[in-house]
Amino acid sequence: MNPEIIHYNQLQFLKAEPTAPLDLNIVAKVDAVIINYTTHSEVFELLRKIRSHHDQKVYLTPFFLHNLTGNMDQAVIQLTDGVLTNLSNLDPAVIVVGKIQSRMSQTASQN
Q: pLDDT truncated to tens, each residue of the chain (111 aa)?
A: 567 999 999 999 999 998 888 888 899 999 999 999 988 899 999 999 898 999 988 999 999 999 877 788 898 899 999 999 999 999 999 999 999 999 888 777 776
Tell if the pTM clears 0.85, that is, is over it. Answer: yes
Q: Please give the single-letter amino acid code of residue 74.
A: Q
Q: Please tell me the number of Cα atoms within 13 Å of 29 on its side-chain side.
A: 7
Any alpha helices (H) in the chain, and if so which ranges?
A: 24-27, 40-51, 56-59, 74-77, 91-110
- The pLDDT assigned to 39 comes to 85
- Report strand pairing: 32-36 vs 11-16: parallel
One CATH from 3.30.365, 3.40.50, 2.60.40, 3.40.1350 for 4-110: 3.40.50
Q: What are the boundaries of each domain within the chain? A: 4-110
- Chain centroid to Cα 48, Å, comes to 12
Give the C-alpha separation, 106 to 102, whole Å: 6
- Report strand pairing: 4-8 vs 11-16: antiparallel
- The pLDDT assigned to 70 comes to 77
Beta bridge partners of 32: 13
- The pLDDT assigned to 109 comes to 72
- The pLDDT assigned to 92 comes to 95
